[in-house]
Structure 1
Amino acid sequence: MSVFDLRGIGPKKEKTLVENGYDNREKLMDANFYDIMRLPGFGYTITCNLWTSLNRNLDYPNMTEVVEYTKNDVMIENKKVVPWKQYKKSKNFVLQPPEYKPQRTTVWSFPDRGDWASHTSQYRGNWSPWVVRNIIERYSKLGDVVLDPMVGGGTTPVECKLLGRNSISIDINPSAIQITKDRLCLPDEYSEELQFSEHKTYVGDVRNLNLIADDTIDLIATHPPYTNIIRYAPCVDGDLSQITDYKLFFKEYRKAIKEMYRVLKPGAYCAVLIGDTHNKSHYVPISTKMMIDYLKEGFILKEDIIKKEWNCESNRYLAKYAGADFLLTMHEHLFIFEKPVCDINSLKNSSLDFFEE
């Protein structure tokens, strides 16, 4: 007979729980989600199902501001990321891109990723500063507050600093925040060339932006994880890139969308770069699902920009998938969403109309 009488928890899982001291329902009600998740045979998906059976909500950590910069190497994906000055010590420092031209179409292509200022390519999956610069220049103004709630390697706040915008950077991974703080440390001799701006960094979960008030952010610019395609922080509780189940990933990411909508000012924009993937032999339209979820939360789709991928054209990448029965994905979607000033229901022919449940 089942000890817990919980849906989806079979005899083996029950045995594991009992062996680890969770021998009654009351103890499970007091248990920490991530302690259970780390038990053999559990993981994020099964533990989420267990929490649902217990009628328990997941708790997300509050934002914690990080002021100190340790100046140490950090590990991302089990690879060492060194301070940018060490990484670029043999290169001449260039503060701004030499030939910046604003994009005027819905297809963006940047063969040169961009490595001015403190930008580097060490953080795999980080977006190009050319993309971020175009977003910031087009959808914000001097002195605005730009939020990146999944900041990764710090591209967004660096561009904010170069362009005279204030920034708030958040990441679930403390190592990512240390990388961001390192990238924000530009040489003092260039300070007079930059507009004054403030930049705050936090360890936190995008599903709980507790220190940010409603309707206070001028622009959101972010490049979220594509489910578990790149696992950035395998040892960090709550990292969305660890969720292997697509439905669960989108369920959790929907909570992030709610928070982004809450903190963004009416009439302001939210820019999200997202790509798709293949699961064995079929295409998984992650970007389409994510776009629909943003619309369902009340955003309006301002633009759908196609960003061409260049790193996929390397011989190494082509050789790896030469025998695969699918076409290589060579693009990402950059969605520009707007938080409407008025009630979405009063807008005729809005993008939401196409995706009503």
Structure 2
Amino acid sequence: MAPMDPEKQDYIVVDRDRLVALLEDINTEENLELLKARILEVKRSLLAPREDIHGLFVLPNGKGVRIRRSTVVTELDQALAAFTLERSRYYVRRLIKGLTEVRKGRFNDINLRRWKEYDDIITDSLWIIDRRDTSGAHLAWYWGNFVPQIPHQLLLRYTRQGEWVLDPFAGSGTTLIECRRLGRNGLGVELNAGVVDKARELVAKEPNPYRVVTDLEAGDSRVFDFKALLARHGIQSVQLLLMHPPYHDIIKFSSAANDLCNAPTTEAFLAMFGQVLDNTLSLLDPDRFLAVVIGDKYTGGEWVPLGFYCMQEVLQRGLLLKSIVVKNFNDTTAKRGQQDLWRYRALTGGFFVFKHEYILLFQCRRPRRHARTG
């Protein structure tokens, strides 16, 4: 495949030092029209590398910095549209800061100086994901696993590279695969030993460029010795808890009595889910996040709001609700090819066909400091 024309690429590699020096020199202009004329020259160079008169694309030792052309051009356009010299200079100074300074968020690696470049990160509470990621080790072989885009987004928003993620309902290892891709250490526990064996094989096939730990164990997360698992890796806590429990009995993952999918009642399911919370929440660092991916169910002519019930279980344990994300899902394996049947059932039964699930985000409150007495 022929390389893309550099004038059509949005991400380009430039000599950042030369670009910054040029912008700093431009900002010394005392005349607004002259300043804008020089800004326009820089913009033209970025848009048409072949006509670059400033040497921005002449890289010292073949090295440069990758920037997003459209973002930089937008910043330059703001400077060009300014009505005063000081305002135009302000936009140039802001662009220089974006090119030279890093200001990371509290819980992630997002450079807030260049926040406009992160349009791949979803910040809305409605997620429409039309197609699951099936690249690499994501084979979608396990019935009921969540789409890889969910852990991908959560890892980017709520962790930094090198931090630790714990998934007590690890399933086919989707979270751990994303941990490898994004440079996070991932620990997972899955009840079904047969699933663990295959998941380990797939996780191991995913490249590990950041040399992170991805460890998947078989066990019951209600009683599993997580502290021992963490100690084995030299840590005492994790920075993100990510849970995707069964949606009660919608899918039968096993016949085991200790599987949440076999809980005899909704109350029993919630009690078992609560046991997993009690066994893991103490491992989460203060101020860090728990994500619960859960959907509702419809049974006996009644909508059962499992998502809100699970949310209440978490809130009862003192965490702070930060967001409720509604994510679409299309046809499940059980409903595939039965759209007309389910539409008929909905029309006759007075309900709506499930097309969504929840991603519930909670923050671990800091332990309260006791006031001194005496």
- The one-letter amino acid of 2:287's match is G
Residue 202 (structure 1) aligns with? 217
Distance 2:268 2:369 in 1: 27
Aligned residues: percent identity? 23
Match of 1:342 among 362, 367, 370: 367
- The one-letter amino acid of 2:192's match is N
Question: Whose helix fraction is larger, Structure 1's or Structure 2's?
Answer: 2
Query: How much has 1:344 moved relative to structure 2?
Result: 11
Query: How much has 1:345 moved relative to structure 2?
Result: 12
Secondary structure of the equivalent of 1:157?
A: helix
Query: How much has 1:227 moved relative to structure 2?
Result: 1.1
- 8 Å CA contact 2:257–2:263 kept in 1: the answer is no
Q: Which consecutive unaligned segments of at least 5 residues does structure 1 have?
A: 1-98, 347-357
- The one-letter amino acid of 1:320's match is L
Query: How much has 1:228 moved relative to structure 2?
Result: 1.0
**1:232-243 matches, cutoff 5 A:** 232-234=253-255, 236-243=256-263
Distance 1:145 1:344 in 2: 26
Residue 128 (structure 2) aligns with? 109
Residue 235 of structure 2 corresponds to residue 220 of structure 1: no
- 8 Å CA contact 1:307–1:334 kept in 2: the answer is yes
Residue 171 (structure 1) aligns with? 190
What TM-score, normalized by structure 1, do the two folds share?
0.64
Match of 1:249 among 241, 258, 269: 269
Distance 2:238 2:297 in 1: 31
Change (3 A) 1:261 1:318: same
Residue 147 (structure 2) aligns with? 128
Residue 311 (structure 1) aligns with? 331
Query: How much has 1:260 moved relative to structure 2?
Result: 2.2
Distance 1:215 1:287 in 2: 30
**1:244-323 matches, cutoff 5 A:** 244-311=264-331, 316-323=337-344
Distance 2:336 2:259 in 1: 32
Change (3 A) 1:210 1:328: same
Change (3 A) 1:253 1:315: closer
User: C-alpha deviations, 1:25-66, integer Å up to 9, x for none?
Assistant: xxxxxxxxxxxxxxxxxxxxxxxxxxxxxxxxxxxxxxxxxx
Bigger drift between 248-257 and 210-219 goes to: 210-219
Distance 1:211 1:106 in 2: 32
Residue 357 (structure 2) aligns with? 332
Residue 231 (structure 1) aligns with? 252
Distance 2:273 2:120 in 1: 33
Query: How much has 1:102 moved relative to structure 2?
Result: 1.1
User: C-alpha deviations, 1:137-190, integer Å up to 9, x for none?
Assistant: 100010111111111111000000111111111011101211220121226xx5
Secondary structure of the equivalent of 2:343?
A: coil
Distance 1:315 1:241 in 2: 21
Distance 2:221 2:285 in 1: 17
What TM-score, normalized by structure 2, do the two folds share?
0.61
Query: How much has 1:239 moved relative to structure 2?
Result: 1.2
- The one-letter amino acid of 1:116's match is S
Secondary structure of the equivalent of 1:256?
A: helix
Query: How much has 1:322 moved relative to structure 2?
Result: 2.8
- 8 Å CA contact 1:170–1:202 kept in 2: the answer is yes
- The one-letter amino acid of 1:200's match is D
- 8 Å CA contact 1:274–1:332 kept in 2: the answer is yes
Distance 1:283 1:211 in 2: 34
Distance 2:210 2:138 in 1: 19
- The one-letter amino acid of 2:221's match is V
Q: Which structure 1 residue ranges, 4+ long, deviate > 4 Å from structure 2?
A: 312-315
Query: How much has 1:209 moved relative to structure 2?
Result: 3.4
- 8 Å CA contact 1:261–1:299 kept in 2: the answer is no
- 8 Å CA contact 2:127–2:327 kept in 1: the answer is yes
- 8 Å CA contact 1:215–1:266 kept in 2: the answer is no
Residue 34 (structure 2) aligns with? none
Distance 1:345 1:296 in 2: 21
Residue 141 of structure 2 corresponds to residue 141 of structure 1: no
Residue 201 of structure 2 corresponds to residue 186 of structure 1: no
- 8 Å CA contact 1:129–1:159 kept in 2: the answer is yes
Provide the aligned length of Structure 1 versus Structure 2.
243
Query: How much has 1:329 moved relative to structure 2?
Result: 1.2
Query: How much has 1:243 moved relative to structure 2?
Result: 1.2
**1:21-36 matches, cutoff 5 A:** none
- 8 Å CA contact 2:226–2:280 kept in 1: the answer is no
The structure, 1 or 2, with the larger RCO (C-alpha pairs under 8 Å, 6+ apart) is: 1
Query: How much has 1:241 moved relative to structure 2?
Result: 1.1
- The one-letter amino acid of 2:191's match is I
- 8 Å CA contact 2:173–2:216 kept in 1: the answer is no
Secondary structure of the equivalent of 1:321?
A: helix
Query: How much has 1:237 moved relative to structure 2?
Result: 4.7
CA RMSD of the aligned region, Å? 2.4
